[in-house]
Structure 1
Amino acid sequence: MKPIWIVDDDPSIRFVLEKALGREGWSTRSFTQIRDVLTALSEVDGQDPERQPPQVLVSDIRMPGGSGLELLEQIRARQPGLPVIIMTAYSDLDSAVSAFQRGAFEYLPKPFDLPKAVELIRRAMEESLREDVAEAQLPLKAEMLGQAPAMQDVFRAIGRLSQSQVTVLITGESGAGKELVARALHKHSPVAGGPFVAINTAAIPKDLLESELFGHERGAFTGAQAQRRGRFEQAEGGTLFLDEIGDMPFDLQTRLLRVLSDGHFYRVGGHQALKAHVRVIAATHQDLERRVRSGSFREDLFHRLNVIRLRLPALRERREDVPMLTRHFLQQSARQLGVEPKRMGSDAMERLQNFDFPGNVRQLENICHWLTVMAPAQLISGRDLPPEVLEKVGPGPVAGTAPGDPLSREQGKEGLAGQDMPAQSPPEGMSPDWVLWLGREVQQLLQKGQTDVWEQMSRRFEAQLIRSALTITHGRRVEAAQRLGIGRNTITRKLQELGIEEDTDQG
């Protein structure tokens, strides 16, 4: 096991921690200055026992020659997965909050209780070891992730089909990742050099779908001012992915059947037959056999599509993949937002694995985006999970929101995209997808050319968090700060910075 590095200019602190950690059987390495730590980091060699990288780093926040926060920034750039515990005095709580914002694993107030300090370091070590294993197992730039037997069957099928251009029908619930499978089939196929064109047949109005698929000639209908190539022509020499094929209108099914049968089609308003050299992959969440029996889907088209069928399992059928997918989405979300990736605590991961995910992988991805924005610390605990998870797998307060008030508007202010959010928990089966409102609001601000979106949205979040907490605590600042997990000085400063007017008890 790699050593624990201790950084503190106080010899008594170093001595106490070295002895306590030594009794646990853990090796340590101590430093008194920031520059010595950075030098040691640049010289680490995993093969040399004398130059092992740290498993955990524990640093004081204020030392001659630099601060622990400066060291934290340097470490985040060099070793982003290394847990860093910042030691600080009670009077320096604002700096501890700043440490969290810069990616600290946890802060340790001075004077500290030694057994609690050892337990905190133990948790950091366990998390670090889990991340080491996860990084070793997680493929770089993976197209699809999954170790469950059902997913391995899908991967094997993609491999077997890699030399074929046969038509494939992908079935599975919404959000399970059917388009990812289609893209993988295209990438590992003889037509990989051609285009991959996708169309969701359920998302396009019936009157426009025919033109979208087959194109149209100039003057074919009102508004057709120029000739237009359809998706079949756009996908020439490659793959056309027809998503949600089960929702295709019945009369268009006949035209699609003709293309699949002899490879020929006509543009809308056209008289010249065109030849399609396209591989077709279709997908649906519908039970096509049932739709055939009900007369809403052509049986002959079904058999044309159902040459090879791949069933994509729901996420609840592959719960062992949830940790790997969660780490992947947290890292992906962090890259998109330009922040450090957060880590899942064991209790939070256990709750996620016990959740049924009615929205499948897409829902897990949305949850990870939510956690990246809303979880208060780098290590995510069970109580930090969003309401949709906590309501199903166990009660508990939700990070950053008052119960039943997921970022609802405050008297017409601080709303997301000008929309009123629900003032109570959503009905059974509904997801409080306020993150979608957030996404739309951010996009609108960016499209308007605003350059202070981060600050603007952060202020709105903070203002709503504090208002909600003060409402719950009937205006008691100290209690509101405790329940939000921040200091009294911090909430007082935020009230002033955000211009929040109070008519409350200051106690």
Structure 2
Amino acid sequence: MKPIWIVDDDPSIRFVLEKALLREELPTRSFTHAGEVLQALEGAGEPGPQILISDIRMPGGSGLELLNKVREKRPGLPVIVMTAFSDLDSAVAAFQGGAFEYLPKPFDVPHAVELIRRAVQESQREQVAQERMEQAPEMLGQAPAMQDVFRAIGRLSQSNVTVLVTGESGTGKELVARALHRHSPRAEGPFVAINTAAIPKDLLESELFGHERGAFTGAQALRRGRFEQADGGTLFLDEIGDMPFDLQTRLLRVLSDGHFYRVGGHSPVKANVRVIAATHQDLEQRVREGAFREDLFHRLNVIRLRLPALRERRDDIPMLARHFLQQSAQQLGVEPKRISDAALARLSSFAFPGNVRQMENICHWLTVMAPAQLIEPKDLPPEVVGPAAEAGAAAEPPSAPARTGAGPDQLSAAVPVPSAESEGGPASSPQPWEGALEAQARELLAAGQPGVWEALTRRFESRLILTALALTRGRRIEAAHKLGIGRNTITRKIQELGLDDN
């Protein structure tokens, strides 16, 4: 085990800490001033310290100066600063500058030993995590669901077959597409990505297929489209479910025979391109609704890879959290923050509706906003520690509100909602279902049930959508029209509420 380095010009402080740590079977090495520590850090063959305990006021260099230099040389080394009460402001400054903790003088020896042992445990855990991070592949995942994805990528490594990647938003569909390209025979060719939902319909055709000079106002020169740019490589079509219907026909032709025409062009252009498509939508349902061509669906759906949601691979959350904290620290040029087991447990219980993308954003937020180097549960952003997050993570007792995947009977058991025949009553005249809703809300609030707003809102939305779908015989577009919401909204709500399982 690496030793604990103690630096203090007071021999009595060094003696007390050495003896106390020796009883705990923790090796030590002592120094009298900062210069000796820096010289030892630069010395050849030195194993380096497990943690560093430093006084603030010392001859030959202050503990704050030592802290800054140590952070440059050993950024992951936990540093505990010791200070008298009069130096408390300096200790706080050191704490904010990256110190693990500060120890006020005179200190209680058992308390000091407990603090040092906690720092040692943190150092060992972070060292193991860092070693794993250095060995980690570009796509992270140890959960069985992700291992299935990795195996599928391996099987497809020597294939040029078209692949459809499905999964919720933020699950990493483009990462999978890039991995499929990188491990394919086309790896030396270009990888070109386009989000079909992010480009206006009037421009999407030109983006995909290019245009000839003079094809339309503003087309002052010939422009190669994404298909031509990806020649010999891979074209990734993200959010393919949102592609306009007329362009689906053109895409089908390219997939069928490899030829297309630029906008305004008369000569066919040959494209040697492997297409990987991705969507968060249910394409089979889009086909049934008449919004997506069935023949194009079958052309794309040669091999389908489904990416699991982050809540389906909770074992990967600690690894991802450390990875993104390290990544965001590098981007911002700051010291990577550590995360406690309690904070990791809280993150692991969060539902992550935004999946891995949301996890990455949370880690960026923590890098900027967390006040200390060690992230505790109280430092997590509001969406993680708020009541709704607690409700999403808690195991539900029999009387708790129903959650995603509950059937119609469960959803309506506690909170009746208006039927189609009972609509239209004046707002000033409470309906029976409103009284039942109020009674249920009172009961849950009085019992201290967390996440009342989210739970009751889910039930209410579920019953509205199920009622509308019953009236329209399952036709979602018509149901959305009756409810006064968009087609994409009702599709998203059905997925979020788990109504596809009913």
1:355 is the counterpart of 2:332: no
Using the TM superposition, name which of 215-224 and 180-189 deviates more: 215-224
- 1:61 is displaced (CA, Å) by 1.1
- 1:394 is displaced (CA, Å) by 4.6
The residue aligned with 2:408 is none
Aligned residue runs from structure 1 range 61-460, under 5 A: 61-139=56-134, 142-391=137-386, 392-394=388-390
Q: What secondary structure does 1:138 align onto?
A: helix
Q: Deviations over 1:305-354 (max 9, x none)?
A: 11111111111111111111111111111111111000001111110011
Q: What secondary structure does 1:62 align onto?
A: coil
CA contact (8 A) 2:67 2:99 kept: yes
Q: Deviations over 1:79-99 (max 9, x none)?
A: 211111111222222222321
Q: C-alpha distance in 2, partners of 1:309/1:242? A: 14
Q: C-alpha distance in 1, partners of 2:86/2:279? A: 59
Q: Deviations over 1:433-456 (max 9, x none)?
A: xxxxxxxxxxxxxxxxxxxxxxxx
- 1:36 is displaced (CA, Å) by 1.6
Q: C-alpha distance in 1, partners of 2:95/2:212? A: 60
Using the TM superposition, name which of 343-352 and 111-120 deviates more: 111-120
Q: C-alpha distance in 2, partners of 1:123/1:355? A: 26
- TM-score (normalised: structure 1): 0.75
Q: C-alpha distance in 2, partners of 1:393/1:87? A: 38
Q: C-alpha distance in 2, partners of 1:141/1:220? A: 49
**Residue type of the alignment partner of 1:25:** E
- 1:53 is displaced (CA, Å) by 2.3
The residue aligned with 1:10 is 10
Q: C-alpha distance in 1, partners of 2:110/2:356? A: 40
Q: Deviations over 1:104-146 (max 9, x none)?
A: 1111122222222222112111111111111221235742111
**Residue type of the alignment partner of 1:8:** D
- 1:428 is displaced (CA, Å) by 5.4
**TM-align CA RMSD:** 1.8
- 1:22 is displaced (CA, Å) by 1.8
> Is there any run of 5+ residues in structure 1 with no aligned partner, and where?
46-50, 396-424, 430-507
CA contact (8 A) 2:338 2:374 kept: yes
Q: C-alpha distance in 2, partners of 1:65/1:218? A: 73
- 1:153 is displaced (CA, Å) by 1.4
CA contact (8 A) 2:190 2:230 kept: yes
Question: Which of structure 1's runs of 4+ aligned residues deviate more than 4 A?
Answer: none
Q: C-alpha distance in 2, partners of 1:139/1:258? A: 45
Q: What secondary structure does 2:168 align onto?
A: coil
The residue aligned with 2:483 is none
> Is there any run of 5+ residues in structure 2 with no aligned partner, and where?
392-450, 456-502
Q: C-alpha distance in 1, partners of 2:220/2:135? A: 47
Using the TM superposition, name which of 148-157 and 382-391 deviates more: 148-157
Q: C-alpha distance in 1, partners of 2:95/2:188? A: 46
Aligned residue runs from structure 1 range 480-495, under 5 A: none
- 1:25 is displaced (CA, Å) by 2.0
Q: C-alpha distance in 2, partners of 1:305/1:197? A: 17
Q: What secondary structure does 2:39 align onto?
A: helix
Q: C-alpha distance in 2, partners of 1:159/1:35? A: 53
Q: C-alpha distance in 1, partners of 2:325/2:118? A: 20
Identity across aligned pairs (percent)? Answer: 79
Q: Deviations over 1:199-238 (max 9, x none)?
A: 0001111111111101111222222222211110111111
Aligned residue runs from structure 1 range 32-43, under 5 A: 32-43=32-43
Q: C-alpha distance in 1, partners of 2:155/2:72? A: 42
**Residue type of the alignment partner of 1:10:** D
Q: Which structure is larger by alpha-carbon Rg, 1 or 2? A: 2
Q: C-alpha distance in 2, partners of 1:341/1:359? A: 23
**Residue type of the alignment partner of 2:211:** H
Match among 43, 48, 54 for residue 53 of structure 1: 48
- 1:39 is displaced (CA, Å) by 2.4
Distance 1:24 1:87, change over 3 A: same
Q: C-alpha distance in 2, partners of 1:97/1:184? A: 46
Q: C-alpha distance in 1, partners of 2:389/2:41? A: 42
Q: C-alpha distance in 2, partners of 1:79/1:44? A: 15
- 1:189 is displaced (CA, Å) by 1.1
Q: C-alpha distance in 2, partners of 1:178/1:277? A: 23
CA contact (8 A) 1:61 1:88 kept: yes
- 1:44 is displaced (CA, Å) by 6.2
Q: C-alpha distance in 1, partners of 2:48/2:278? A: 48
**Residue type of the alignment partner of 1:110:** K
Using the TM superposition, name which of 225-234 and 139-148 deviates more: 139-148
CA contact (8 A) 2:162 2:302 kept: yes
**Residue type of the alignment partner of 2:228:** E
Q: C-alpha distance in 1, partners of 2:389/2:290? A: 40
**Residue type of the alignment partner of 2:363:** C
**Residue type of the alignment partner of 1:220:** A
Q: C-alpha distance in 2, partners of 1:359/1:251? A: 31
CA contact (8 A) 2:351 2:389 kept: no
The residue aligned with 2:406 is none
The residue aligned with 1:479 is none
- TM-score (normalised: structure 2): 0.76
CA contact (8 A) 1:44 1:53 kept: no
Q: What secondary structure does 1:139 align onto?
A: helix
CA contact (8 A) 1:216 1:229 kept: yes
Q: C-alpha distance in 1, partners of 2:157/2:283? A: 26
Q: C-alpha distance in 2, partners of 1:393/1:282? A: 33
